[in-house]
Structure 1
Amino acid sequence: MQRVTNCILNHQGKMLMLKKPRRGWYVAPGGKMEQGEHIQQAVVREFYEETGLTLQHPQVRGVFTFLMKDEAQGEVMQEWMMFTFYCEDYSGQLLDQSSEGDLEWVELDEVVGKPMAEGDRFYIDHILASRETLYGTFTYTSDFKLLDATLTPKSRK
């Protein structure tokens, strides 16, 4: 099972987002954990690698399981865990160009309207609106069609 971290950085009413070139979808910057790394080390390292910014005191706000299912067989093809952090403070200089895609500060009221995986809308909306940690499982097809989202607490959507 792959483990990944990402962070919603909210600074002065804007969220830093990364537009991935493959699908043109927006994501919160982050990436794969390395062996032996704890989740806070991973999010600080990955966020820095993708943005040039060092997170100050990121807090866990979401813990999720993602399943990719073969629609015809109904079998799970991939499974990973994602630990989503929230942060408002950082240091450093934003990269002019990230190797992972285009970095963009997005007004908070425009974030969930950006092109993204459907499940991302649920957890980003919750984390921007609440201090309560969100737990969930998202099930997708191999082409990223959302089949199911089970969330605790229940989503506002």
Structure 2
Amino acid sequence: MQRVTNAIYINQNHVLMIKKPRRNWYSAPGGKMEFGESITQAVIREFQEETGFTLKNPKLSSVFTFVMDQEEEWMLFTYFSEEADGKLLSETPEGKLEWIPINQVLNLPMAKGDKEIIKHAINQPQSVLSGTFYYSKEFELQRQRLDEWLTKEDRV
């Protein structure tokens, strides 16, 4: 099972997104966890490597299992942040970085599961959403399960 982290970073009513060249889809910057890394360490490192920004006080927003054609399984840990230090990279090998107005981000071409994850991070940053997305080989969403949103009070 592959473990991946990413972050929804909002600054001045814009979301920092990365347009990946493979499908020309947008996603939140992030990447694979390294051996022994905590999910918070991984999201800070990966976000900095891809964007140039070091997240400050990132909060866990969602945890999802991605099942790819019943053969491969990934865990995605998504964080939310409105604070970061650094300077945006002018280019990154992972794709093109773009600031997208918050009210337009869900209209971008992206994986259907990513839309659910981003919508939750924007609208419910104080809670954690979990679930499972089942995709085909062609990355078409076959079905999904969204678990109840867990508020801070539920996580005690």
TM class by smaller structure: over 0.9
Other-structure match for 2:152: none
* 1:136 paired to 2:131: yes
Task: Give me the TM-score of the superposition, normalised by structure 1.
Answer: 0.92
Other-structure match for 1:108: 102
Query: Which sections of structure 2, spanning at least 5 residues, go unmatched?
Result: 150-156
**Offset from partner CA, 1:97-149 (integer Å, 9 cap, x none):** 01100000000110010000011111111110012110010000010000111
User: What aligned pairs does 1:1-157 form with structure 2 within 5 A after superposition?
Assistant: 1-69=1-69, 76-130=70-124, 131-153=126-148
Query: Which sections of structure 1, spanning at least 5 residues, go unmatched?
Result: 70-75
Q: Once superposed, what is the RMSD of the aligned Cα atoms?
A: 0.8
* Distance in 2 separating the partners of 1:88 and 1:48: 14
Name the % identity.
51
After TM superposition, give the deviation of residue 153 of structure 1 in Å. 2.4
Give the SS at the match of 2:36.
coil
Give the SS at the match of 2:71.
strand
**Offset from partner CA, 1:7-65 (integer Å, 9 cap, x none):** 00011111000000010000000000000000000000000010011000101010000
Return structure 1 stretches of 4+ with deviation > 4 angstroms.
Answer: none
* Distance in 2 separating the partners of 1:39 and 1:126: 19
- Residue 140 of structure 2 aligns to which amino acid in structure 1? K
Task: Give me the TM-score of the superposition, normalised by structure 2.
Answer: 0.93
Number of matched residues? Answer: 148
